[in-house]
Amino acid sequence: MNRRIAIVGIGNTDFNSMTPDVSWKELMFEACQKAYIDAGVDPRKDVDSFITCAEDFYEGFSIFDEFVPDQIGATLRPCCTVCGDGIYGLGNAFMQIKTGQMDVVSVEAHSKISDLLTFGDVVLHAYDPLFEKPVSGPVERQNYVGSPSYPKEKPKPIVGSSNEKNRIHPYFLAGLEMQHYLKKTGTTEEQCAQVVVKNKKNAFNTPYADYEANISVEDVMNSEYLFKPVKRLDISPNVDGCIAFVLADEKTAKKLDVEPIWLKGFGWCSETPWLSTRKMNADYAKMASDMAYKMAGITNPKKEINIAEVDDRFSYKELQHLEALGLADSGKAGKLLEDGELDISGSLPTNTSGGSLGVGNCFEATGLQKSLEIVTQLRGHAGKKQLSDVDIGIAQSWRGIPSGSGAVAIFGR
């Protein structure tokens, strides 16, 4: 069906490195309640379908679906879980409304990663169990990467574990991929460090961000190597938080008397999960964006996209993703950064929210965090970092190490 789909409500919590005072249910309730109020809907009467985005391994127990309905207002209502990034939830909601069976759909994604004591072990489950997993393995303090208080020294392997001497954190893959990207494109470590500086500075104007900082390129370059050439400050620290969106068809959006932001295009791609059978490129981002551009009718993204929020869970990823999305030529994203074109005042403002480096690694909420900034900018509600003449924005998210999975959403006024 040819139905236009609008974002009519958004809501979010703050993002914090640890949230011992609230449960994941309370985070979900707060974000959803804000989104429903923003949209002017009653979830018990007006919302036709509910989507939550969660991964059982990150939640710490199986069949997370069973624990979802109460706090998002979906008790005895149609409700499903997307086992993936929140931006996939937007795509799911988009398709549900397109069918004509639903008019209003709620999407929620969250992170309560501070409750997970064995983060590295969970990431290892995504590696090939025979050829990839054995070179890494469980370590005593898997939260040392991404935690605000992780030690400077690398953690010791579990005593008595098999292949004990060769155990390393599964983020070793980021080091290999960054090496490949730098060598292939001629991008420098200093340019990647500039991404960190820019994004942490941008986060000062994002109320819910947790890792804003006024640092220099030298600070980043002097931080210790963890997975060379990935340094400590090249990695986005983990955070807890939640974001919720309410989507509606055009007819319903007019009845709600809200200024709609249109979801004009959506695309996704999942490459092979086996490292040995895929390239260390962001091909998933290119294929997903090609799909989204076609749907949105965008033929020249460099000229038509006014603002970009791209996945930057590792500093080099921002530059790699901009090139994969066709917003920068191969190997030229770093030069755009140096010239100030990716700044808030530049020709292609990128990660004005602070991105994952400034806000924090939101895990399954990452895609919605990117989308939240785009929608806020298009609404004209971005405060001190509000851009002028913004009509089209792109949000892109990647599932994270070691996946080759990602999605793109294009929003417009």
Widest pairwise Cα distance in the chain: 65
> Residue 80 belongs to what H/E stretch?
strand 79-82
Short-list 325, 334, 330, 336, CA closest to 392: 325
Which pLDDT score, from 0 to 100, does residue 155 have? 44
Q: Which residues have a Cβ under 8 Å from the Cβ of 381 and sit 6 or more positions away?
A: none
- Whether 138 and 167 have beta carbons less than 8 Å apart is answered as yes
User: CA nearest 228: which of 169, 312, 155?
Assistant: 169
The whole-angstrom separation of Cα 115 and Cα 341 is 39
Torsion, Cα 233 206 11 381, to 10 degrees, reads -140
Domains of the chain: 5-114+238-412 (3.40.47.10)
368-389: per-residue pLDDT in tens?
999 999 999 999 999 999 999 9
Rounded-to-5 percentages of helix, strand, coil across the chain: 40, 20, 40
Please report, as a single letter, which amino acid is at residue 377: Q
Mapping DSSP onto H, E and C, the string for 258-299 reads CCCEEEEEEEEEECCCCHHHCCCCCHHHHHHHHHHHHHHCCC
Provide the b/e sequence for 264-292 (b: ≥16 CB within 10 Å). bbbbbbbbeeebeeeebbbebbbbbbbbb
β-strand partners of 394: 308, 410
- Helix, strand or coil, per DSSP, at residue 396: strand
User: For the chain (length 413 residues), average pLDDT per consecutive 10?
Assistant: 91 96 96 98 97 92 89 94 95 96 97 91 86 65 45 41 54 94 97 98 97 98 95 97 98 93 96 85 96 98 98 98 98 97 97 98 97 98 95 96 95 96
pLDDT per residue as tens digits for the range 13-36: 999 999 999 999 999 999 999 999
Q: What are the tokens at 382?
A: 């971005």
Cβ atoms within 10 Å of 33's Cβ, excluding its own: 16
Angle at 248 between CA 58 and CA 385, to 5 degrees: 70
With tokens 């624990």, the residue in question is: 67
Region of residue 63 (phi > 0: left; psi between -120 and 50: alpha; otherwise: beta): left
Dist. CA 304–CA 45, nearest whole Å? 39
Helix spans in 203-354 (H): 217-222, 250-256, 283-296, 301-304, 315-324, 333-338
